[in-house]
Structure 1
Amino acid sequence: MNLLMSQLFSFSLKVTAGLALLVSWRRYRRNSLLFWSFFFLSSSLSIVSELTGFNFGVPLFQALGVSFLAGGVVSLLDEEAVGFPIHSLRIAALTLPSLVSAYIVLYAKIAPNPKPIYLSYGVAGIFYAFAGVVLWGVRRFYPRSGTFLSAVITIHGLHKMDYPFLRPVEWFAPIGFTLGAVLNALEVIAFIHIVLSERFRNIESATSPEILKKGVYILPPERFKSYTEALSDFPVLAFARRSDFPERWEVHLLTTVEGPGNIGPTQLHRIIERTRSYLAEAHRENVTGVVVIEGLEYLMMYNDFRSVLKFLATLADYIALYSGMLLLTLDEKSLEERQLKTLRQVLNVGDGK
């Protein structure tokens, strides 16, 4: 495959993938899809810029593409409630600027005829590879496709880093662009595999159990077991202090310990965002979304009652908006009578009997 054919193949592939993801975004309304759609479309414009000799377009669209790629990765982590470990963020903050500077100095020293335009590919590749490493965090939810996509993006980022050094080498240029085209194809396959997965679409058709009702309900711990059994085959979204729930449930542990899918007790916004995404998709699939919060007492240890009340009120609003069901397990003796009354009034709690 010669240089021009490789570029045209990559361009066609990126445009097709970008438009396909844009169509998927219109259906699922997940921000990650929108960002990734723009990522492919921006990357295609980078190729157009190189083919037409519009040199300023190369670094511009390279930067935009990587920004949208990273935005999609961060959005996916947020949608799946996967926290980014603070120590990893600290390492990134301390190393990335130095790594970029070292790369630029190395290029200036080694390249016989340094070109800033070529350098933009390499710098973009550093952040490209970093986005792939961050994406590794979703492997718990997408064991094969997530791991594969993370690996391909990381490798592609590393490949972009060799561009400034090898692009001027005439015999390697076609090979480099062909390799880039192959990596683009693998990225598209991995993206599509994730988008078409049951997990990404969140909800599949399911027979609604009789116990399922719309609204907000408070259940004492001893009665919650009957709901767990009745909803064992239903795609429930749960935020809990334990993980021994039915296999079909999507469970996020409430804990201060970092880990894939774990949510800290003060990160109430992450619970809200994941719940909103889940309920919206359930509503589109004409399924009653069921959300479980098991561990209210734990959340109140780290947040004042007013903050928890506002948080629950927001969840209740989404439950009403998307016709879902919210189950709160709570030992009512753990609250003062006035707090319990306020909680019931604000949430418009139904009778869970």
Structure 2
Amino acid sequence: MEYGPSVYIISITLIKLLAGLLFLIAYLRTRRFSTLLISFAWFLSIPVATFGAVDIRVENAMISLAYAFTLLAVFRLIQEERIISLPKSITIAVPLALAVTGVGTSLIKSIPDEGYLIDGIFEFIAGLIVIESLSAYYKRNAKGLGISLALSGIMSTLYPMFYQKPPNMLITSIAAWLIIVPQFWFYSKIIYSERFFKWPQSMETSALKIEGTHIIPPSEFEDVKDKVGLYPTLAFLRNFKPFPGWISYLLSTVEMPKALYPTDLYKITEISTKYFKEAQQKGTKGIAIIEGLEFLKLYNDFDAVAKMLSNVRDCATLNNGTLIVFAEESAWDKKEWATLRRILGEE
């Protein structure tokens, strides 16, 4: 074997081994199943893209298994973060179909390439899913991981074209490193982040000691924010920034993603109702925060604001959730303030 290919294969293999071991250690520390799946995916990808050093039938089967585990890991991570509830027909059937296709064609054909082609497409889709689903929680690291996964998928679909006649190995090595190293880096940043490690503990609602409905001065927002922490809280905010990972909406007159116009009070009710019901179905307790009532009052009459709060409060109560409303007493007349307190059970 020539020196160039040897350096390429050895370096890529070492990176994959290191990644698999680090993520296996992370699984042992966090017990998050998505991490174990990611670890398996890295180990399975070791005999892949070797340009002839490993039989193409083995490569085709292993890339299918590796990408199947990657897709399983992405789906599992989405479920762990409680972003959306996915049916088993998607979370299990799709990765299983990818694995069966790759292994099956490797057993039947002498020079199979379906594993690289089909799984490359799904790896690209997995990258887009990561960007869309996890960016709100892991910010630039999720975007970076999603981009690297998408690029990896594109490279996989092109690999069969160069299998027997690889291009310049220096260029090939640089291209591979530019994809695999950032992918390893962003995986590590997510898996070894504070949020990832603390998330299971943050789901223990008993430790929060926040129950029922409350109306609290805005000056105490930061204290409540620290108490709630990583818990997947629904927040409608005007003047404060949410904790990373909260499901937050900005109350604003400016059109932008995740922003609600102040007159769209019905959307606050709809979003809150869906959130509390889903939390109850999953066996967790929903926590919703509404801040900026004074801003809402500028664009709505008091009765409309009070009705919205009453509806959200009823939904929170029915689903064993918590509603925290931040309001400044001095901004309301005595009758309005008494009504707000009565709605939220403070009187």
TM-score interval, smaller chain = 0.5 to 0.7
Correspondence for 1:14 among 13, 16, 39: 16
Partner amino acid for 1:62? I
Would you say the 8 A contact 1:265–1:299 is kept in 2?
Answer: no
Does 2:133 match 1:140?
Answer: no
Would you say the 8 A contact 1:219–1:327 is kept in 2?
Answer: yes
Partner amino acid for 1:188? F
TM-score by length of 1: 0.59
In the alignment, the residues of structure 2 paired with residue 82 and residue 230 of structure 1 have an alpha-carbon distance, to the nearest angstrom, of 25
Report the identity percentage: 16
Aligned-pair Cα RMSD in Å: 4.7
In the alignment, the residues of structure 2 paired with residue 40 and residue 251 of structure 1 have an alpha-carbon distance, to the nearest angstrom, of 30
Q: Shift in Å at residue 217 of structure 1?
A: 5.0
- Superposed CA deviations along residues 215-272 of structure 1, whole A, max 9, x for unmatched, are 7554433258686453344425253351355544642259xxx969x88716855677
Distance 1:181 1:240, change over 3 A: closer
In the alignment, the residues of structure 2 paired with residue 182 and residue 75 of structure 1 have an alpha-carbon distance, to the nearest angstrom, of 27
Q: For residues 100-249 of structure 1, what are the structure 2 equivalents within 5 Å? A: 116-137=111-132, 138-172=134-168, 175-176=171-172, 178-202=174-198, 214=207, 217-223=210-216, 228-234=221-227, 235=229, 237-240=231-234, 242-244=236-238, 247-248=242-243
Q: For residues 1-353 of structure 1, what are the structure 2 equivalents within 5 Å? A: 2-46=4-48, 51-53=53-55, 55-83=56-84, 116-137=111-132, 138-172=134-168, 175-176=171-172, 178-202=174-198, 214=207, 217-223=210-216, 228-234=221-227, 235=229, 237-240=231-234, 242-244=236-238, 247-248=242-243, 250-253=245-248, 265=274, 268-269=277-278, 292-294=287-289, 297-298=311-312, 305=318, 308=319, 312=320, 327-329=322-324
How many residues align? The count is 268
Distance 1:150 1:191, change over 3 A: same
- Superposed CA deviations along residues 133-188 of structure 1, whole A, max 9, x for unmatched, are 11112222222222111111111111111111122224446643552244212211
Would you say the 8 A contact 2:51–2:166 is kept in 1?
Answer: no
Would you say the 8 A contact 2:47–2:54 is kept in 1?
Answer: no
What 5-or-longer segments of structure 2 have no aligned partner?
Answer: 102-108, 200-204, 250-256, 260-270, 290-308, 326-339
- Superposed CA deviations along residues 37-74 of structure 1, whole A, max 9, x for unmatched, are 11101111446896353x54322221111111112222
SS of aligned partner of 1:51: coil
Distance 1:327 1:229, change over 3 A: farther
Distance 1:248 1:66, change over 3 A: same
In the alignment, the residues of structure 2 paired with residue 174 and residue 165 of structure 1 have an alpha-carbon distance, to the nearest angstrom, of 18
Would you say the 8 A contact 1:228–1:246 is kept in 2?
Answer: no
TM-score by length of 2: 0.60
Would you say the 8 A contact 1:119–1:164 is kept in 2?
Answer: no
What 5-or-longer segments of structure 1 have no aligned partner?
Answer: 101-113, 204-211, 277-290, 313-325, 341-351
SS of aligned partner of 2:233: strand
Larger relative CO (CA 8 A, sep 6+): 1 or 2? 1
Distance 1:52 1:237, change over 3 A: closer
Distance 1:47 1:296, change over 3 A: farther
